[in-house]
Each structure stands twice: as structure tokens, then as C-alpha cells.
Amino acid sequence: MKIAIEAQRIFRTNKHGMDFVALESIRELQKMDTENEYFILVSPGPDRCLEESGNVHIVEVKCPTYPLWEQVALPRVVARIKPDLLHCTSNTAPLCCPVPLVLTLHDIIFLEKRQASSRSLYQEMGWHYRRLVVPRILKKCSRIITVSKFECNRIQQALHLKEGLLTAVYNGYNDHFRMKDADKNVIRKYVKEDGYLFFLGNTDPKKNTPRVLRAYAAYLKQSESKRPLLIADLKEDFLDSILKTEGIEDIKPHLAFPGYIENKDLADLYNGAFAFLYPSLRESFGIPMLEAMACGAPVIAGNTSAMPEIVGEKALLVDPFKDEEITDKLLELETSPTLRQEQIEYGLERVKLFSWRHTAEELLKIYQSIKK
């Protein structure tokens, strides 16, 4: 088979969740499948994180904007390559595709009632683009992939897709996320003290940043240790606006907010963390939870959407709408070394259920079913 995979943003420097899912899946297919020929369609970028091989060819597609890249340039390249199928990996796809289409629909958050508007113009434009494109392409897909059973049920209930069209394929995590002695030089790039709390907050409302900061403020009032909070992917002006709105500006000296954290540094930061906070309002999967558990960091996760499915019922789950539950779990971990050790051991076992190898094997089955 000739298989085209859209991976438009994997060469950008500041990669995010869907970029890593595409990249890691492609790398695993490259290693395990030498019978089929893959054409990886990307936008030019500085991070050449994927190399060509006998079974993998990189095709750079240039276009000034994402909608034009996807709706105009991508179909033209696909028509020239003439693959047996096109797999679009990031929720959207060309409205006119000359070959059978496989779509990874990570979630349908953009079709649900919003908690709040995004403060990022890029995220806001992406939300409107997905609302416009996705309903129009679903009926044109040969197969649709999502990333959890929760999301599979959610999509089916909302969109009433025909039987057999939608499949859940779990994500994995990179094996460089493992328990080790954390590199203090890496940690000091981001936070000045050891034993910190780690939170992946950003401008997306679903990440629940205001409530996490309120919960942390309450923690500081009750804790004897008063551990610092390292917040990834959040700019100072946005942070300041939240602190001011919530009336908790006094906690800022306890916060470390370096902005975007390079993926290569995350394993050290997870290993150095006392606990990892992921009390999101809504997740279709949640790869950072696996990464943290694989590094031996206890995870405090939301009890909504796909998070319980991924971390399991024995994890530390909280109602993400209740600040006090987040605070209580932090204090429980801090006052009970036994609980913390149990969570470390539980997490290390739980992550054995997930791998990119398994993800790639499931993708290959789907590709082969379309050829038949």
C-alpha cells in the first residue's frame, strides 16, 4: 500500500499533544512496517524530528495559512502522489479528498458548550475552523479514529455515525519517560527548589488554571512545606490577570512560570516533582498523565471525561470544579508518605497498558481494512 499521513505541524519547535501523537505513531510504523510505503505530508519547520527511510518519505508542503494548506495544497499533493488512502491526524481534513480518508478526531470539544472563550487568538480561530469543517467531512470518511472509549461514546451520541465507522485507539507514551535520578541542571532551568508541584496549565479553559491556582493558594495556607508550583506553558501576563481576578496575587512568589517547556526536559521535571496536577475539566485522553506516572510522579487528575479511563480508578481523582478537593489531595500526599508511595507504584504498573507500538499496530489494521 501507499499510505499518506498528514502531519502538518510535527516540524514546528513548540509541539503540542496532537503533534506528538502523529510523530510517535509514524516513528513506530516506520520501525515495524516495511511492507507498505508511507508519505508523510508536513509543513516546513526547524525541528527535523523525523528522518526518511526506505519505507518513509517526507513531503514538505508549503502554504501561508493552515486552512489553505489543508484545503488547497494538501489535496493537490495527494492527487499527485496517488496513495491508497490519506490519514489526517489532527481533527480536520480536506473537504475534497481524491482518495479514501481516515480521520483522527481526538475530541469534539469544539461542538460542546464552552466553559469560556479562549484568550489565545490562535486557539479561538482553530475552534471556529473545526466547527466549520468537521461536520462536513465526517460523512466522507472511510474510518474515523478517536483516542478513548469515553470519546468514542461521546462522538457516537452527538453525531450518530453509521455502525463500524468509529474506532477507539489508545495513545501511548515515549519510553524516555521513566524513573531515573532527575538532572538538577535541567530542573534549575525552570524552578529553584526541589520537591515542587508540577502543573501543565495554559490558556485553554479546559485546563482549569484559575481553580488550580485557587486550590494552590488554599494549600499554601495549610501546608507546613509550602512547596513551589511549577506551571508550564503559561505567560506571565496571563498568569497575572488570573491572580488579580481571583484576589490571590500574594502567591506569585511561590510560582515558577517559565513558559513553554521543551519535551526533552519533561522527564527530568516529572522525576523531580513531588506530585503532578492534571485536574482538567475535559480530556479525550491525557498523555501527560502517562508520562508523569512512568516517571514515578503521583498524579492528581480530574474525575471527568476520559481521565478515569486512562489513569484507572485507584488513581487520585478529584472533582475539577471543586478547588477544595484539589487542595485536600495535595495535603493528603504531603502528610502520608505511605499514600504517596502507593501512588508511585500504582502508576508504574498502570502505564504498562499503553505503548506507541500498540497504537501503530491498531492503525495498521485500520489501513489494511480499507485496502480490502
pLDDT of 110 reads: 86
Give SS3 for 38: strand
For domain 184-353, give the CATH superfamily: Glycogen Phosphorylase B; (3.40.50.2000)
pLDDT, tens only, 219-245: 999 999 999 999 998 999 999 999 999
CATH topology of 2-172+355-371 equal to that of 184-353? yes
**160 C-beta neighbours (distance < 10 Å), count:** 7
Q: Give the sheet arrangement for strand 2-6, strand by strand.
A: 56-60, 37-42, 2-6, 85-88, 101-104, 143-146, 166-168
Residue 122 — pLDDT band, cuts 50, 70, 90?
A: low
Architecture of domain 2-172+355-371: 3-Layer(aba) Sandwich (3.40)
pLDDT of 331 reads: 98
Check: CB of residue 240 under 8 Å from CB of residue 308.
no
pLDDT of 117 reads: 58
Cα distance between the two ends of the chain:
11
pLDDT of 128 reads: 84
User: For a pLDDT cut of 70, what percent of the chain falls above it?
Assistant: 97
The residue with cell 534549575 is 188
Query: Of the candidates 239, 207, 212, which has an alpha carbon nearest to the alpha carbon of residue 305?
Result: 207
Give SS3 for 167: strand
Cell, residue 86: 490519506
Residue 179 has pLDDT above 90, yes or no: yes
Give every CB contact of residue 283 below 8 A, 6+ residues apart in sequence. Answer: 206, 302, 304, 305, 306, 307
The per-residue pLDDT of the chain, averaged, comes to 94
User: For a pLDDT cut of 90, what percent of the chain falls above it?
Assistant: 87
Q: Domain-by-domain residue ranges, the chain?
A: 2-172+355-371, 184-353
Q: How far apart, in Å, are the Cα atoms of 185 and each of 188, 189, 269? A: 5, 7, 11
The residue with cell 495535603 is 331
- Rounded Cα distance between 229 and 64, Å, is 38
- Which value, to the nearest 10 degrees, does the dihedral of the CA atoms of residues 307, 310, 311, 314 take? 90
Q: How far is CA 341 from the centre of its chain?
A: 26
pLDDT, tens only, 304-339: 999 999 999 999 999 999 999 999 999 999 999 999
Residue 119 — pLDDT band, cuts 50, 70, 90?
A: low
